[in-house]
A and B are shown apart, each in its own frame.
Chain A
Amino acid sequence: MSATIRWVRGGGLSTLLLLLPLLLVFGYFAWFPIGRAVVMSFQETNLVADPAWVGLDNFRQVLDDPLFWTSVRNTFFFTGLALLFGYPVPLVLAVVMSELRRGKGLYSGLAYLPVVVPPVVAVLLWRFFYDASQTGVFNTIFGWVGLGPFAWIQDASSAMPSLVLQATWANAGATVLIYLAALTAVRGDLYDAAEVDGAGLWRKIGHVTLPQLRGVLLITLILQVIATFQVFTEPYLMTNGGPQNATVTVLLQIYNYAFRFGDYGAATALSVLLALFLAVMSAVYFRLTRSWSTT
């Protein structure tokens, strides 16, 4: 009893009450829908009549769908390509920009500009740029140097790299800013010491900058992997999964189940599978990289 009074007097109650609105908002708009989705993945429902319990049928249906492995493969492909291009590019840009003596603000503004453009507008603009005819914007530019015309999103083999290119352009700016902020925290005397020891630019980057950034690098890597595994806007707006299902991703497949075919059971089952996969992958990632982490 006295412990309760102590808790109340110690501010426990008012802390809880102050937290309550946040808990309710999160509970109602985030945790409750997540819980409902998990329940729904074991049901067949049209959202009006009482749902019927179907056990693991939705999971079986999703795993038996011929497009399941196509979408998984495509998602891995997107993630791999996005890491290949999208991970080092912002880092290089940030390091270069941090070395600049003038116009740092201008360049970081320019780098961030694509993030300000609404994603739908950006994707639709790029779809226009990717016009496969000789007179398309990109094809015209490549034509000046005797290249192309390229099929871009009209060909199964080049569609996904085209999406990655657009996604990298659109998202790199935000990561550049994170790296720039992290770079300001790198102590200048470390560079001075390295310079005294005769280190050149590359050695300073390799032995001072990158080790000092490793905490941020580890976090941005996993955040990027999680985000790219959930890629939707680009394939949905640019190619709608085509050509020949070359850009069908797991999230697009979830969307199609729910909103194209009205199969909410299958949609939530695949969502649960994706969430489980990402949770397990994140846990493994943090375990493997524990020794490198700065925290």
Chain B
Amino acid sequence: MSSTRRHLGAVAAAVMAVSLVAACGSDDEPAADGGSPGGDGGDEQVTISVSNLPPATESATREAFLARVEEFEAANPNITVEPSEYEWDVTTFAAQLAGGTLPTTFEFPFTDGQAMIERGQLVDITAEVQALPYADSFNPSVLEVAQDDSGSIFAVPTTAYGMGLHYNRAMFEQAGLDPDTPPASWAEVREYADAIAEATGQAGFAQMSQNNTGGWILTTLTYALGGRMEDGSGDDVTATLDNDGTKAALELLRQLRWEDDAMGDNFLFDWGTINQAFAAGQVGMYIGGSDVYNSLVTENGIDPDSYGLTVLPLEGGDAGVLGGGTIVGVRPDASEAERDAAVKWIDFFYMSKLTQQDAALADAEALVATDAPLGTPALPIFGAEQLAESDAWVADLVNVPLEQMMPFKESILDQPLVPEPPVRAQDLYAELDAVVQAVLTDENADIEALLETANGNVSSLVEAG
């Protein structure tokens, strides 16, 4: 009896073990070939997956997206499109890429483009992009975020924004300030912040400082004050974190924090939490991308009447504004046929909104139908005239308080656009996070010494390449 039981146990264990191995094996197979057939171009059948399908809760925009997919497949019978709700996230990107679950095309921010190109996480699509009819019309300073040193193209910029000063109009009024006359100099920013803090008990001005955003905004402020974080180009780049612009920027933060006590009590903001605080009426002014309003509406439920946007004051000879935006890239292991199909999709889905009136109107109508914001000021992907033209196509549908954003919209195109530091930008930002935090949390922080140390650390990274 006991022997029979033992044999039964052995058989059961063997079945379990074999089925486990089989389960592991069957999981592996689709991942190994990336889940889609490869090919060498031409008219052969190809399947690509595409990102940013709106979730089911946003039914109108989702349906509009799916309708565009059908339209695309009808126009390209050899291409099958599998829409995915995937949204780019720096923390999961590499694992999903390795695991074969990343869509063939995906959107990501300008600020991560160079690092991804350096790490070989995007495929070269120069030939496919060059074949597009508008390839020569891209705004060069925008396209360069998707290019390597040799000029090869790894992604397509689809939206661009400039950094701006967001302000709470209601808090301005509470402090006796005119919300239609936002600050035009950094001295005025300081003065206004002080008045808001005094009148409301909240932060008159706040600054991001975590997850590389401290360095990102300090770089913005540095550019606005005429400084640069890196000097040179190509292989000859040197870190210049201890430039006069950065010193002036940190000094401004120090004064706002310690002399005026106008920055509230929270100094550990990142992009998400500062938006939250701003929408909740806890922050009078802060620096961020001009497209932030979209997120403030959809994620933070801001009261549109309280929102105001103006350009950053530019002071100093070489002052400029840092730009940002969204680019769309293709998986590094995409076959030639997948690359070709992916760029066709990018052209059809993203670029036609900018270049064709019908597509622009259809997209705008879908956005408005779900109360998604439309009309937030943007920077031109191609040229100012083209932007004005595409803005005019959808002008009647605009549902954002554009009047309150006019101080930005009217002046942003006159401000020189400066790209992000060309080498190891994210490492540089991370290093500066600690510097910003030091100035905001330590009254006796030595700005010169902090920048000297940070510059030394970043220099060794830049030299290593």
Contact = CB atoms under 8 A, between A and B. Distances in A.
Interface string B103-127: 0000000000001100111000000
A24 B268 contact: no
B17 A24 contact: yes
Contact of A21 (B13, B265, B442): B13
Given A48-B121, A49-B332, A154-B265, A242 B17 contact: no
A152 B276 CA distance: 21
A161 B97 CA distance: 39
- Chain B, interface residues (CB within 8 Å), range: 35 or more
A14 B9 contact: yes
A260 B430 contact: yes
Nearest to B441: A243
Contacts of B453: 66
28 contacts: A14-B7, A14-B9, A14-B10, A18-B9, A18-B10, A20-B17, A46-B97, A46-B121, A47-B94, A64-B460, A66-B457, A132-B266, A133-B264, A153-B268, A154-B441, A156-B438, A156-B442, A242-B209, A242-B268, A242-B433, A242-B434, A243-B437, A243-B441, A244-B437, A244-B442, A259-B90, A259-B94, A261-B427
A48 B332 contact: yes
B146 to A, nearest CB: 18
A47 B97 contact: yes
Contacts of A19: 13
Given A155-B441, A244-B437, A260-B90, A17 B17 contact: yes
Interface string B94-105: 110110000000
A240 B211 contact: yes
A248 B457 CA distance: 17
A46 B116 CA distance: 9
Interface in B432-464: 433-434, 437-438, 440-442, 453, 457, 460
Given A25-B20, A46-B119, A20 B98 contact: no
B20 A24 contact: yes
**B interface secondary structure, majority:** helix
Contacts of B121: 46, 48, 262
Contacts of A245: 434
Interface in A133-188: 133, 136, 149, 151, 153-156
Contacts of B7: 14
B270 interface: yes
A260 B333 contact: no
B91 A240 contact: no
Interface string A46-60: 111100000000000
Given A46-B94, A47-B97, A240 B210 contact: yes
Interface string B34-65: 00000000000000000000000000000000
A141 B286 CA distance: 31
B21 interface: yes
Nearest to B211: A240
Contacts of B120: 46, 48-49
B426 interface: yes
Given A49-B120, A243-B441, A21 B17 contact: yes
Nearest to B450: A244
Contacts of B20: 21, 24-25
Interface in B5-34: 6-7, 9-10, 12-14, 16-17, 20-21, 24
B215 to A, nearest CB: 12
B246 interface: no
B209 A154 contact: no
The 10 closest A-B pairs by CB, nearest first: A47-B98, A17-B13, A14-B10, A132-B265, A133-B265, A259-B91, A20-B17, A243-B437, A18-B13, A243-B441
Contacts of B21: 24
Interface string B249-278: 000000000000000111110100000000
Interface string B184-197: 00000000000000
Interface string A10-32: 01011001111100110010000
Nearest to B456: A66
Contacts of A234: none
B9 A48 contact: no
A112 interface: no
Contacts of B115: 261-262
Given A66-B453, A155-B441, 15 more contacts: A13-B10, A14-B10, A20-B16, A21-B13, A46-B94, A48-B120, A48-B121, A64-B460, A133-B264, A156-B442, A243-B268, A260-B426, A260-B430, A261-B426, A262-B116
